[in-house]
Structure 1
Amino acid sequence: MKKTASAHWQGGIKDGKGTLSTQSGALRDSPYGFNTRFADQPGTNPEELIGAAHAGCFSMALSKELGDAGMTAQSIDTQAEVTLDKVDGGFEISAVHLSLRAKIPGADRAAFEQAVATAKSGCPVSKVLNAKITLEAVLED
């Protein structure tokens, strides 16, 4: 299985602008640029998209792990905070922090924690990132 996305860019780094599109059409010519990445201009940026991908991937992986343990989530809500640091004249994504809130009727706490750990290390987006990945998990009543 292969999925595609594309970027179009015009101009210099600070005055240029670009668009991002995905095969599915979820993004179609979505604007991005220096100000959407490093300031508060409306639009998207690569770090935000990596965060969305990681949160979505982890949530689906957790659903699978919970199912394998005989549990079904009423809800799984994951937020990803992606850290972009300036290093050696450039930038790197140094960390991703996942915050999970899950409602799982009748959940066994130990089985939940094992499912969370397995999903964190096993989701394909976690595997592709060369960043420190941390996680805070809350099992709601």
Structure 2
Amino acid sequence: MKRNATAVWKGSVKEGKGVLTTQSTTLNDTQYSFNSRFEDGVGTNPEELVAAAHAGCFSMQLSAFIGEAGFEATSIQTKCEINLVTGTIIGSHLTVEASIPGISNETFQELVTKAEKNCPISKLFNTEITSTATLV
């Protein structure tokens, strides 16, 4: 499987503007700029998209591991916070809330750690990945 996205940037880094389009066209000429990345401008930014990718990938991987352990999640909500410092992503923190009937907190935490280490986006990163997980 291969997926793709395209970025088009016009102008200087501070005054220029860009658009992002994904293969599925879920993002279709979606605006991004210096302001949307480093200030409070309208549009998306690469770090926000990386956070979405990590949260989505992790949630699906956790669901798979929960199923393999004989449980089924009613819901998994994952927020990902990407930490960018002086041009380098230095961390990705996942905050997870899940409802999984019948699972113990110990088993849940083990599966969270396993998913944290094994989702494809986690494997892509060369940074610290941490998580806080709560059963609800």
State the TM-score bracket (shorter-chain normalisation): over 0.9
Give the match for residue 111 of structure 2: 115
Q: Aligned partners of 1:108 and 1:70: how far apart in 2? A: 12
Give the match for residue 2 of structure 1: 2
Identity of aligned residues (%): 50
**Which runs of 5 or more structure 1 residues have no equivalent in the other structure?**
none
Give the match for residue 55 of structure 1: 55
What code does the residue aligned with 1:100 have?
Answer: V
TM-score, with length taken from structure 1: 0.95
Task: Confirm whether residue 41 of structure 1 aligns to residue 41 of structure 2.
Answer: yes
Give the match for residue 64 of structure 1: 64
Task: Count the aligned residue pairs.
Answer: 136
TM-score, with length taken from structure 2: 0.98
**Which runs of 5 or more structure 2 residues have no equivalent in the other structure?**
none
SS at the partner of 1:24?
coil
Give a deviation string over 1:60-110, Cα, whole Å, max 9, x none. 000000000001011000000001101xxxx01111110000011111222
Give a deviation string over 1:34-64, Cα, whole Å, max 9, x none. 0000011110000000000000000000000
List structure 1 segments (4+ residues) > 4 angstroms apart after TM superposition.
none
Give the match for residue 104 of structure 1: 100
What code does the residue aligned with 1:101 have?
Answer: E
